[in-house]
Amino acid sequence: MPVTIDLSGSVAVVTGGTRGVGAGIARALLEAGAEVVTCARRPPDEPVEAAGRTARFLPVDLRDPAAVTEFFDRVRADHGRLDVLVNNAGGTPFRMLGEGGAAQQARVVELNLVAPLTASLAAYEVMRNQPGGGSIVMIGSVSGTRPSPGSAAYGAAKAGLDNLARSMAVEWAPLVRVNTLVPGMVRTELSHLHYGDEDGVASVGRTVPLGRLAEPSDIGDACVFLASDRAAYITGASLLVHGGGERPAFLDAASVNH
Domain range for 176 = 11-253
Query: Terminus-to-terminus CA distance in the chain, angstroms?
Result: 41
Kindly state whether residue 152 falls inside one of the protein's structural domains. yes
**Mean pLDDT of all residues belonging to the chain:** 93
pLDDT digits over 196-205, tens only? 677 777 778 7
CA distance 91 to 98: 19
Q: Which residue has the higher pLDDT, 55 or 185?
A: 55
Residue 222 main-chain phi, psi, to 5 deg = -65, -35
- Active-site residue, selected from the candidate residues 124, 154, 195, 233: 154
What's the pLDDT band for 253 if we cut at 50, 70, 90? Answer: confident
Kindly state whether residue 104 falls inside one of the protein's structural domains. yes
- Mean pLDDT, residues 175-179 taken together: 98
Residue 140 belongs to domain with CATH number: 3.40.50.720
Kindly state whether residue 195 falls inside one of the protein's structural domains. yes
Domain total of the chain: 1
**Element housing 37 (H / E):** strand 35-40
Kindly state whether residue 3 falls inside one of the protein's structural domains. no
Specify the pLDDT at position 68. 98
Contact 28, 228 (CB under 8 A): no
Kindly state whether residue 4 falls inside one of the protein's structural domains. no
**Does the active-site annotation cover 154?**
yes
Question: CA distances (Å), 177 to each of 28, 59, 65, 70, in order?
Answer: 20, 26, 22, 23
Specify the pLDDT at position 3. 65
pLDDT digits over 64-116, tens only? 999 999 999 999 999 999 999 999 999 999 999 999 899 999 999 999 999 99
CA distance 60 to 68: 7
pLDDT digits over 178-187, tens only? 999 999 988 7
Q: Which residue has the higher pLDDT, 228 or 202?
A: 228
What's the pLDDT band for 171 if we cut at 50, 70, 90? Answer: very high
Judged against a pLDDT cut of 60, whether residue 174 lies above it is answered with yes
Kindly state whether residue 37 falls inside one of the protein's structural domains. yes
DSSP β-bridge partners for residue 179? 137
Kindly state whether residue 5 falls inside one of the protein's structural domains. no
| Rounded percentage of the chain residues whose pLDDT exceeds 90 | 81
pLDDT digits over 12-44, tens only? 999 999 999 999 999 999 999 999 999 999 999
Kindly state whether residue 136 falls inside one of the protein's structural domains. yes
Question: CA distances (Å), 24 to each of 119, 199, 217, 218, 254, in order?
Answer: 20, 23, 5, 8, 39
Specify the pLDDT at position 84. 98
